[in-house]
Amino acid sequence: MSTPNTPAVPAEPITEPTAPAVEAPGATPDAEPLGAPGLAALKSEREAKAAAEKRAAAAEARIKEFEDRDKSDEEKRAERQAELERENAELRTAKTRSEVAAAKGVPAALLTGSTQEEFEAAAEALIAFKGTAPVADGGSFIIPSEGGAPQLALNGDGMEAALRKALNIA
């Protein structure tokens, strides 16, 4: 005989899963469960704790924001002061370099160092390398042909003769 396709019926009825019983902290496993009122109280306490932690985190973030705002102002002032001090040092160094260059008669751009002694040593080395003494009268320069006529006219026979001689042309 054939049997119709019927699903097997379980011996026990299927029940909906329930939340596991939550035990109170410090309770032993064989203690009685909290029951419905205890679970409700525990749930409300956990929610209150989560809300309090959230408020505490927000308050800490706000305090940190105030501290960072104050700190950033102090940092801005410190950075500005450091920038002004650096600029002041650069200007003092440039002034010293220019003074030494004027006194020694050498170009200021060629002087190396950061102190007056270093600038003077660099100026003396340049003078020794150049092989001339510094200009004593403050740097007046003489141009020998100033105000006079050139020795050879650029369009004259003298120029042509000088070019022929230089190029060995007859």
How confident is the model at residue 88, as a pLDDT? 96
In angstroms, the CA 21 to CA 42 distance is 12
Quote the pLDDT of residue 80. Answer: 87
pLDDT of residue 162: 80
How many other CB atoms sit within 10 Å of the CB of residue 44? 10
Q: What is the pLDDT of residue 112?
A: 92
| pLDDT reported for residue 125 | 92
CA distance 62 to 60: 5
Supply the pLDDT for residue 120. Answer: 93
- Asked if 114 contacts 93 with a C-beta cutoff of 8 angstroms, the reply is yes
- Cα distances from 135 to residues 104, 112, 140, in angstroms, run 8, 20, 8
- Rounded-to-integer distance, Cα 41 and Cα 106, Å: 91
- Which stretches of the chain drop beneath a pLDDT of 50? 1-2, 7, 10, 28-30
